[in-house]
Structure 1
Amino acid sequence: MSYSFCKKQIYCRYGTMISPSYSKGLRFVQTHSLISLAVRYVSSIARNDESFTVSYLINSCGLSPESALSVSKKVQLKNSTQPDSVVEFFKNHGFSQTQIRKIVERMPILLLSNAEKTLLPKFQFFHSKGIPSSDLSVVLSSNPRVLRCNLDNRIIPNFNSFKDFTRRDDSEVFLAYKDCSEILTCNFQSIVAPNVALLRQHGVPDLNIMTELVIQPRKFTRNHDKFRRSVEEVEKLGFNPLQRKFLAALQVLVQISKSTWERKLNVFKEWGWSDEDFVIAFEKFPKFMMLSEHTIMKKMNFFVNTMNWKSSFVAHHPSVLAYSLGKRIIPRYSVLQVLLSKSFIKKPISVQFLIWTEKEFLARFVTPYGDFHLLKLYKEKMSLENQIA
């Protein structure tokens, strides 16, 4: 039975009217019965939609049950017609099943798009810029946010503004977007342009700005007041605007909150760094502060407790903190330990063994000692430690 409500009377479907003067008890029962019925009905619809959505996300988009359940809270699918057309659209444009899954996980609302009207024009624009389908699928699956933006009012103006600013080709503009969605999705002229102008005012060379804008665009999209304060702080720390380290230090101060900075500083102090050690390290290699606290702890532990380096030694060579523990530090150190044990070398080569390219390292410490299976050890260590940051 369906009902309609008004302040003075209640009508049932067959036209029978219940007067407001009827008993309060009856009105209470009826009202609560209607509410209960409505809740059950809506809940039933919601459960059915959620069940269909989860099933579709798993079977058609390749999501795990856990991921599908999480995504279903952001989008509700009533049938497969619209999402099928979107999934098919991506397949026809060279996206793999894995890439489609990533897009759905990151931007599930796209499943409700009209593929021909809203997605196709954007793809046509990127193709007109000479961007190959292989790059398009990689970049958009990593960062699909731009597909939700208006083409004429946002994407095209921002693309052209970024290109004019950096004087780079179309493919470089698009690849910069991969790491920073704001390049094409924010208002470029009102957000990025003022920050660039500020750096010019402080004497940062245009070449450095444009290079950094392509490589690390995220820092330029920050709130202008915060950006200005960070620039002033970098100057107070003594960094020269003419040098590239000025922008490296700026990136750290722009992206790290004060509380995060303090926590990371305390981690290094726990390993014995003095204030002077920290200043020396930051002046030499500011980006070590971008590491997570967990990664800092693991690397400092290995350097100090396994390699027997003094904590202050790391502070004077902070670039070693940037190397992967699993892919470079542990495999190379393991090879040197074998050579030391067999007296082929007298002592580890300071930090240089980490700085050399892989080709140089293998030529110096692995290839000459082929009889000792060092290459096998090296590769085994890289495989075992591959999950270590």
Structure 2
Amino acid sequence: MLKFQFGRCGSVSVVEPMSYPFCKKQIYWRYGTMISPGYSKGLRFLKTHSLIPLAVRYDVSSIARNDESFTVSYLINSCGLSPESALSVSKKVQLKNPTKPDSVLNFFKNHGFSQTQIRKIVERMPNLLLSKAEKTLLPKFQFFYSKGISSSDLSVVLSSNPSVLGYNIDNCIIPNFNFFKDFTRCDDSEVFLAYKNCSVILSNSFQSTIAPNVALLRQHGVPDSYIMTELVRHPRFFTLNHDKFRRTVEEVEKLGFNPLKSHFLAALRVLVQISKSTWERKLNVFKEFGWSDEDFVIAFEKFPECMSLSEHTIIKKMNFFVNTMNWKSTFVAHRPIVLGYSLGKRIIPRCSVLQVLLSKGFIKKPASTSFLICSEKDFLARFVTPYEDLHLLKLYKENMSLEN
């Protein structure tokens, strides 16, 4: 039996599946009053509100549901998305059949992309599944290959930041690639590395967003070599609103940083990234471990990045140095570079080796942090290899990555 529900404003919804001919079916008002096809009012209703549009509307609605079901299924089974992610992505793209998406997936696979990398791209840019791979994707890949970028590097970068695949190759990608390269005088591979960190590098907003901030740094005497190195490594912070960027540059100068020194840009990068309240919270963490205002000024001047660390990371590292290694907090303040090293990959493994050597009397307590600063090769040659009987290499590896 076919049932329709009519809203107060004339809207109609199908309650049960329907089939032709219409004249044999019954129609129900929302509140249960039946209108039979033989009833005169019902005939007038049918004449005024044709059922054909309702049938079309029902069919379209059914097709839409089928498309959504197919899209979700395809995203899960062919693209590797989780059900939750597939449902979310299906709201951004509707797939009618597997022809185009299959060609896109095969295109990425043929260019060395792993299933995980493809999944990341689909999650970030699902509309790519509707692309004509050979027409829209291939020219972009060929351009990057012509710049000496390997397929392995391409897969890594594009899976983490695929937005460039949505840009026009002739009007956007090529001119902006060449502009950034000429502007920074860097290699092709460095342009692509900069893009990985900030998609603006290959978008049309580069000249209007980044160039004015670069010009400002030049006006304040920052050497071009420092600017260009920073622009390639950390392009995103150059995209800051120009007025805020200018105010922050002036603040860094007031703090006493010399524009001719590399720490000037490091301090600038830190200040543009954190709010005043965050700054105060992190400063208080250092003070809780015994730093005075003077200690902080010394540490920040030597290693501005110490304020880029999260409060949790600052607490873990300071706690390890002060409470586990029994270092004075002022010792750390005068050597703040140690705060920049990984607790699990460098600090704990190396300190565990030193503690054994100290307990055995093989070395004296180091007066510097050179054992943390030196390369792994030098550290092993100096503190591990000469003491094979102590099995320090095993200890070193066991302590690796115990903490993040």
TM-score with structure 2 length normalisation?
0.82
Partner of 1:192: 210
Consecutive unaligned residues in structure 2, runs of 5 or more = 13-19, 24-30, 35-44, 46-50
Q: 1:3 to 1:101 in 2, by over 3 A?
A: same
1:356 aligned partner = 374
Contact 1:161–1:188, Cα closer than 8 Å, also in 2: no
C-alpha distance in structure 1 between counterparts of 2:213 and 2:122, whole Å: 33
- Corresponding residue of 2:199: 181
Give runs of aligned pairs for residues 323-362 of structure 1, distance below 5 A: 323-362=341-380
Partner of 2:109: 91
Q: Find the counterpart in structure 1 of residue 270 from structure 2.
A: 252
- Is contact 1:335-1:374 (8 Å) kept? yes
Q: Does 1:168 align with 2:186?
A: yes
Offset of residue 317 of structure 1: 1.3
Match of residue 122 from structure 2: 104
How far apart, in 2, do the equivalents of 1:149 and 1:112 lie?
15
Q: 1:230 to 1:363 in 2, by over 3 A?
A: same
Structure 1 residues 1-389: aligned runs within 5 Å: 48-382=66-400, 384-385=401-402, 388-389=403-404
Q: What's the CA shift for 1:285?
A: 0.5
- CA offset at residue 278 of structure 1? 1.8
How many Å apart are 1:209 and its aligned residue?
1.1
Give 2:242's aligned amino acid: H
Counterpart CA distance in 2 for 1:274 and 1:41 is: 74
Letter in 1 for 2:193: L
Identity %: 79
Instruction: Check the 8 A contact 1:336/1:348 in 2, yes or no.
Output: no
Q: Aligned partners of 2:234, 2:209: CA distance in 1, in Å?
A: 15
Using the alignment, how far apart are the partners of 2:328 and 2:88 within structure 1?
Answer: 46
2:371 maps to amino acid: F
Alpha-carbon shift at residue 55 of structure 1 (Å): 2.8
Kindly provide the CA deviation profile for residues 195-216 of structure 1, in whole angstroms up to 9, marking residues without a partner as x: 1111111111111111221122
Q: CA deviation at 1:303?
A: 1.2
CA distance in 2, matches of 1:266, 1:70: 41
**Aligned residue type for 2:104:** V
**Post-superposition shift, 1:77?**
3.2
- Which blocks of at least 5 consecutive residues in structure 1 are unaligned? 17-23
- Give, in whole Å, the separation in 2 of the partners of 1:327 and 1:98: 26
Aligned to 2:48: none
Task: Return the alpha-carbon distance in structure 1 between the equivalents of residues 11 and 368 of structure 2.
Answer: 89
CA deviations over 1:181-202 (Å, ceiling 9, x no partner)? 2111251111111111111111
Partner of 2:28: none
CA distance in 1, matches of 2:258, 2:397: 42
- TM-fit CA distance, 1:146: 0.9
2-structure distance, mates of 1:272, 1:40? 72
C-alpha distance in 2, partners of 1:318/1:41?
68
Q: Which amino acid aligns with 2:185?
A: R
Structure 2 SS opposite 1:203: coil
Residues 158 and 187 in structure 1, CA contact (< 8 A), matched pair in contact too? no
1:306 and 1:42 map into 2 onto residues whose CA distance is: 68
The DSSP-based 3-state class of the residue aligned with 2:210 is helix
Letter in 1 for 2:338: V
Higher mean C-alpha displacement, 57-66 vs 329-338: 57-66
Aligned length: 373
Distance 2:11 2:321 in 1: 80
Q: Which has the larger radius of gyration?
A: 2
**Distance across 1 between alignment mates of 2:219 and 2:201:** 22
Q: What root-mean-square deviation, in Å, do the aligned CA atoms of Structure 1 and Structure 2 show?
A: 3.5
Q: 1:338 to 1:142 in 2, by over 3 A?
A: same
The separation in 1 between residues aligned to 2:133 and 2:163, in whole angstroms, is: 15
> 121-130 vs 284-293, which deviates more?
121-130
Q: C-alpha distance in 2, partners of 1:75/1:292?
A: 37
Question: Aligned AA for 2:240?
Answer: R
Deviates more, 1:216-225 or 1:55-64: 55-64
CA distance in 2, matches of 1:105, 1:254: 30
Q: Deviations over 1:313-349 (max 9, x none)?
A: 2222111111000000000111111112211123245
Give the 3 Å change call, closer, same or farther, for CA 130–8 of structure 1 in structure 2: closer
